[in-house]
């Protein structure tokens, strides 16, 4: 596993086991296949899309995809 995956797995473990969070959400632009690919490999599910409110309407990075992982999914 690469550094990004290892860091993400440890973060998810901390969030679910130490902080007792019910879910984690993550987002990126559709063109960032490395990021959403990692989200999928971590077991995250794509739950939607949105336009980032802090970016101009025609900004090329405005559109995002949204993923989530619920604590019941495990890692």
pLDDT single digits (tens) 8-54 = 999 999 999 999 999 999 999 999 999 999 999 999 999 999 999 99
The CATH classification number of 3-73 equals 3.40.630.30
Query: Residue 1: pLDDT band by 50, 70, 90 thresholds?
Result: low
For 23, the token pair is 């879910």
The residues spanned by each domain of the chain are 3-73
Q: What is the pLDDT of residue 2?
A: 85
* Bridge partners, 27 (sequence order): 66
Rounded to two decimals, what is the model's pTM? 0.86
* Bridge partners, 26 (sequence order): 67
How far is Cα 3 from Cα 45, in angstroms, rounded to an integer?
21
Which are the contacts of 26, defined by CB distance < 8 A and separation ≥ 6? 35, 39, 44, 66, 67, 68
């Amino acid at each position: 596993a690469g550094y990004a995956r290892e860091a993400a797995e440890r973060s998810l473990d901390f969030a679910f086991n130490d902080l007792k969070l019910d879910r984690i959400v993550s987002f990126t632009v559709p063109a960032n296949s490395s990021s959403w690919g990692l989200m999928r490999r971590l077991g995250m599910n794509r739950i939607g899309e949105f336009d980032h409110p802090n970016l101009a309407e025609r900004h090329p990075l405005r559109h995002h995809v949204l993923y989530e992982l619920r604590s019941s999914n495990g890692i």
